[in-house]
Amino acid sequence: MLQLNSVSYQKGKSDLIQSVSATVQPGDRLTIFGPNGAGKSTLMRLMAGIIQPSSGTITYDDSLSGKNAIGYIPQQLALFENLTVKEHLRFYQKMIGSKTNPFMNEMIETLQLKDFWNKRIDELSGGMKRKVNLTVGMIQQPKIVFLDEPFVGVDLAAKHDMLNWLNRLNSRGVTIVFVTHDWQVIHELADKMWLMENGDLLHEATVDEVVHDHIELPDTSSALQKMISFHRY
Protein backbone atom coordinates (compact mmCIF):
# COMPACT_ATOMS: atom_id res chain seq x y z
CA MET A 1 0.00 0.00 0.00
CA LEU A 2 2.81 2.34 0.98
CA GLN A 3 6.50 1.66 0.58
CA LEU A 4 9.48 3.52 1.98
CA ASN A 5 12.69 3.03 0.00
CA SER A 6 15.86 4.21 1.79
CA VAL A 7 14.05 7.30 3.06
CA SER A 8 16.24 9.89 4.79
CA TYR A 9 15.33 13.31 6.11
CA GLN A 10 17.82 15.99 7.06
CA LYS A 11 17.20 19.29 8.76
CA GLY A 12 20.24 21.56 8.85
CA LYS A 13 23.14 19.23 9.57
CA SER A 14 21.17 16.62 11.50
CA ASP A 15 19.81 13.39 10.11
CA LEU A 16 16.34 13.08 11.63
CA ILE A 17 15.52 9.94 9.62
CA GLN A 18 18.27 7.61 8.40
CA SER A 19 17.65 5.42 5.38
CA VAL A 20 14.38 3.79 6.40
CA SER A 21 13.00 1.04 4.16
CA ALA A 22 9.70 -0.58 5.11
CA THR A 23 6.21 -1.38 3.86
CA VAL A 24 2.74 -0.65 5.20
CA GLN A 25 0.20 -3.27 4.09
CA PRO A 26 -3.50 -2.60 3.50
CA GLY A 27 -5.48 -3.09 6.73
CA ASP A 28 -2.40 -2.89 8.95
CA ARG A 29 -2.72 -1.76 12.55
CA LEU A 30 0.81 -0.46 12.97
CA THR A 31 2.44 1.49 15.76
CA ILE A 32 5.74 3.35 15.55
CA PHE A 33 7.40 2.94 18.91
CA GLY A 34 10.46 4.58 20.38
CA PRO A 35 11.80 7.14 22.85
CA ASN A 36 11.25 10.91 22.69
CA GLY A 37 13.16 12.35 19.77
CA ALA A 38 13.45 8.99 17.96
CA GLY A 39 11.92 10.49 14.80
CA LYS A 40 8.42 8.99 15.02
CA SER A 41 6.54 12.22 14.25
CA THR A 42 8.98 13.04 11.46
CA LEU A 43 8.48 9.61 9.88
CA MET A 44 4.69 9.94 10.13
CA ARG A 45 4.80 13.37 8.46
CA LEU A 46 6.93 11.91 5.67
CA MET A 47 4.49 9.05 5.12
CA ALA A 48 1.49 11.40 5.21
CA GLY A 49 3.17 13.52 2.52
CA ILE A 50 3.40 16.64 4.68
CA ILE A 51 7.17 16.82 4.28
CA GLN A 52 9.33 15.35 1.52
CA PRO A 53 12.32 13.01 1.99
CA SER A 54 15.81 14.50 1.51
CA SER A 55 16.66 11.26 -0.28
CA GLY A 56 14.93 7.99 -1.03
CA THR A 57 11.32 7.58 -2.16
CA ILE A 58 7.89 6.86 -0.77
CA THR A 59 5.52 5.10 -3.15
CA TYR A 60 1.76 4.75 -2.72
CA ASP A 61 -0.45 2.26 -4.49
CA ASP A 62 -3.52 3.30 -6.51
CA SER A 63 -5.87 3.03 -3.53
CA LEU A 64 -4.17 6.12 -2.07
CA SER A 65 -4.26 8.23 -5.22
CA GLY A 66 -7.45 10.19 -4.31
CA LYS A 67 -6.89 13.53 -2.61
CA ASN A 68 -8.83 12.46 0.49
CA ALA A 69 -7.23 9.04 0.86
CA ILE A 70 -4.75 10.03 3.58
CA GLY A 71 -5.76 11.29 7.02
CA TYR A 72 -3.30 12.86 9.44
CA ILE A 73 -3.93 13.67 13.09
CA PRO A 74 -1.05 15.83 14.34
CA GLN A 75 0.58 15.61 17.76
CA GLN A 76 0.05 19.37 18.19
CA LEU A 77 -3.67 20.21 18.19
CA ALA A 78 -4.71 21.94 14.96
CA LEU A 79 -7.92 23.67 16.08
CA PHE A 80 -9.35 27.19 16.08
CA GLU A 81 -9.84 28.37 19.66
CA ASN A 82 -12.85 30.56 18.82
CA LEU A 83 -14.88 28.07 16.81
CA THR A 84 -17.36 25.64 18.31
CA VAL A 85 -17.19 21.91 17.67
CA LYS A 86 -20.13 22.19 15.27
CA GLU A 87 -18.45 25.07 13.40
CA HIS A 88 -15.26 23.04 13.08
CA LEU A 89 -17.06 20.21 11.42
CA ARG A 90 -18.95 22.56 9.09
CA PHE A 91 -15.67 24.33 8.18
CA TYR A 92 -13.84 21.11 7.33
CA GLN A 93 -16.85 19.73 5.48
CA LYS A 94 -16.75 22.80 3.25
CA MET A 95 -13.01 22.36 2.71
CA ILE A 96 -13.48 18.84 1.41
CA GLY A 97 -16.69 19.80 -0.44
CA SER A 98 -18.87 17.30 1.39
CA LYS A 99 -22.24 17.43 3.13
CA THR A 100 -22.94 15.56 6.35
CA ASN A 101 -22.99 11.87 5.45
CA PRO A 102 -23.53 8.57 7.29
CA PHE A 103 -19.79 8.25 7.98
CA MET A 104 -19.67 11.65 9.70
CA ASN A 105 -22.86 10.97 11.63
CA GLU A 106 -21.47 7.68 12.88
CA MET A 107 -18.22 9.36 13.93
CA ILE A 108 -20.09 12.15 15.78
CA GLU A 109 -22.21 9.59 17.56
CA THR A 110 -19.45 7.13 18.45
CA LEU A 111 -17.20 9.87 19.81
CA GLN A 112 -20.18 11.48 21.57
CA LEU A 113 -19.34 14.92 20.21
CA LYS A 114 -22.92 16.11 20.70
CA ASP A 115 -22.16 16.32 24.45
CA PHE A 116 -20.13 19.48 23.75
CA TRP A 117 -21.37 20.32 20.26
CA ASN A 118 -21.91 24.06 20.79
CA LYS A 119 -18.88 24.74 22.97
CA ARG A 120 -15.93 26.74 21.67
CA ILE A 121 -12.56 24.97 21.59
CA ASP A 122 -11.19 27.28 24.31
CA GLU A 123 -14.02 26.04 26.57
CA LEU A 124 -13.17 22.35 26.12
CA SER A 125 -11.06 20.09 28.31
CA GLY A 126 -7.85 18.59 26.92
CA GLY A 127 -9.49 15.22 26.25
CA MET A 128 -12.45 16.78 24.46
CA LYS A 129 -10.05 18.71 22.23
CA ARG A 130 -8.29 15.44 21.32
CA LYS A 131 -11.63 14.00 20.19
CA VAL A 132 -12.29 17.03 17.98
CA ASN A 133 -8.72 16.84 16.63
CA LEU A 134 -9.35 13.20 15.72
CA THR A 135 -12.66 14.03 14.07
CA VAL A 136 -11.38 16.79 11.82
CA GLY A 137 -8.44 14.65 10.71
CA MET A 138 -10.81 11.83 9.73
CA ILE A 139 -13.66 13.84 8.26
CA GLN A 140 -12.80 13.02 4.64
CA GLN A 141 -13.08 9.26 5.34
CA PRO A 142 -9.47 8.33 4.64
CA LYS A 143 -8.18 4.93 3.47
CA ILE A 144 -5.14 5.26 5.69
CA VAL A 145 -4.82 7.38 8.79
CA PHE A 146 -1.69 8.55 10.62
CA LEU A 147 -2.36 9.36 14.26
CA ASP A 148 0.38 11.06 16.25
CA GLU A 149 -0.26 10.54 19.98
CA PRO A 150 -4.04 10.94 19.65
CA PHE A 151 -4.81 9.81 23.22
CA VAL A 152 -2.68 12.22 25.27
CA GLY A 153 -4.68 13.40 28.29
CA VAL A 154 -7.78 11.50 27.21
CA ASP A 155 -9.77 9.82 30.02
CA LEU A 156 -10.48 6.10 29.89
CA ALA A 157 -14.07 6.50 28.71
CA ALA A 158 -13.07 8.80 25.85
CA LYS A 159 -10.14 6.50 25.02
CA HIS A 160 -12.59 3.63 24.82
CA ASP A 161 -14.82 5.59 22.40
CA MET A 162 -11.84 6.52 20.21
CA LEU A 163 -10.34 3.02 20.16
CA ASN A 164 -13.74 1.56 19.40
CA TRP A 165 -14.17 3.90 16.44
CA LEU A 166 -10.68 3.26 15.04
CA ASN A 167 -11.00 -0.51 15.35
CA ARG A 168 -14.40 -0.41 13.68
CA LEU A 169 -12.91 1.52 10.76
CA ASN A 170 -10.02 -0.93 10.56
CA SER A 171 -12.45 -3.86 10.37
CA ARG A 172 -13.86 -2.13 7.28
CA GLY A 173 -10.41 -1.93 5.70
CA VAL A 174 -8.96 1.38 6.91
CA THR A 175 -5.22 1.16 7.58
CA ILE A 176 -4.14 2.59 10.94
CA VAL A 177 -0.64 3.90 11.67
CA PHE A 178 -0.12 5.55 15.04
CA VAL A 179 2.32 6.71 17.69
CA THR A 180 1.68 6.37 21.40
CA HIS A 181 3.59 5.93 24.64
CA ASP A 182 0.66 3.99 26.13
CA TRP A 183 0.95 0.20 26.22
CA GLN A 184 -2.78 -0.23 26.77
CA VAL A 185 -3.41 1.51 23.45
CA ILE A 186 -0.80 -0.64 21.73
CA HIS A 187 -2.46 -3.81 23.01
CA GLU A 188 -5.87 -2.63 21.83
CA LEU A 189 -4.98 -1.01 18.51
CA ALA A 190 -1.79 -2.55 17.09
CA ASP A 191 -0.71 -5.83 15.53
CA LYS A 192 2.66 -4.66 14.23
CA MET A 193 5.39 -2.45 15.66
CA TRP A 194 8.19 -0.48 14.09
CA LEU A 195 10.85 0.04 16.75
CA MET A 196 12.73 3.32 16.25
CA GLU A 197 15.63 5.08 17.87
CA ASN A 198 17.85 7.97 16.72
CA GLY A 199 16.13 8.21 13.35
CA ASP A 200 16.69 4.51 12.63
CA LEU A 201 14.00 1.90 12.11
CA LEU A 202 15.76 -0.83 14.11
CA HIS A 203 13.23 -3.61 13.91
CA GLU A 204 9.79 -4.57 12.68
CA ALA A 205 7.88 -7.15 14.68
CA THR A 206 4.43 -8.16 15.86
CA VAL A 207 3.23 -6.84 19.20
CA ASP A 208 3.25 -10.44 20.48
CA GLU A 209 6.90 -10.91 19.49
CA VAL A 210 7.91 -7.72 21.27
CA VAL A 211 5.88 -8.48 24.39
CA HIS A 212 7.29 -12.01 24.64
CA ASP A 213 10.89 -10.87 24.12
CA HIS A 214 11.24 -12.71 20.82
CA ILE A 215 13.28 -9.91 19.28
CA GLU A 216 16.85 -8.79 19.46
CA LEU A 217 17.83 -5.16 19.50
CA PRO A 218 21.31 -3.67 19.21
CA ASP A 219 23.07 -2.76 22.49
CA THR A 220 22.60 0.92 21.77
CA SER A 221 18.88 0.73 22.33
CA SER A 222 18.69 0.89 26.12
CA ALA A 223 15.89 3.51 26.15
CA LEU A 224 13.88 1.35 23.78
CA GLN A 225 14.57 -1.76 25.89
CA LYS A 226 13.29 0.01 28.99
CA MET A 227 10.15 1.10 27.15
CA ILE A 228 9.53 -2.46 26.01
CA SER A 229 9.92 -3.83 29.54
CA PHE A 230 7.09 -1.51 30.66
CA HIS A 231 4.49 -3.56 28.79
CA ARG A 232 4.22 -5.68 31.93
CA TYR A 233 2.85 -2.83 34.01
37 binds, among ligand ATP, Mg ion, none (CB under 5 to 8 A by kind): ligand ATP
Contact 10, 19 (CB under 8 A): no
Q: Which is nearer to Mg ion, 41 or 175 (CB)?
A: 41
Residues in the chain: 233
CB of 81 to ligand ATP, least distance (A): 23
Contact status: 38 vs ligand ATP (CB under 6 A):
yes
Q: Report 52-81 residues binding Mg ion (CB under 5 A).
A: 75
Contact status: 41 vs Mg ion (CB under 5 A):
yes
Q: How far apart are CA 139 and CA 203, in angstroms?
A: 33
Beta strand 200-206 with 175-179: parallel, antiparallel or unpaired? unpaired
Signed CA dihedral, 182, 35, 111, 175: sign only: negative
In terms of Cβ atoms closer than 10 Å to its own Cβ (0-12, 13-18, 19+), residue 69 is middle
Site string for ligand ATP, 8-27 (x = CB under 6 A): ---x----x-----------
Contact 134, 124 (CB under 8 A): no
126 binds, among ligand ATP, Mg ion, none (CB under 5 to 8 A by kind): none
Site string for ligand ATP, 71-110 (x = CB under 6 A): ----x-----------------------------------
Strand-pair partners of 24:
2
Binding footprint of ligand ATP on the chain (CB under 6 A): 11, 16, 34, 36-42, 75
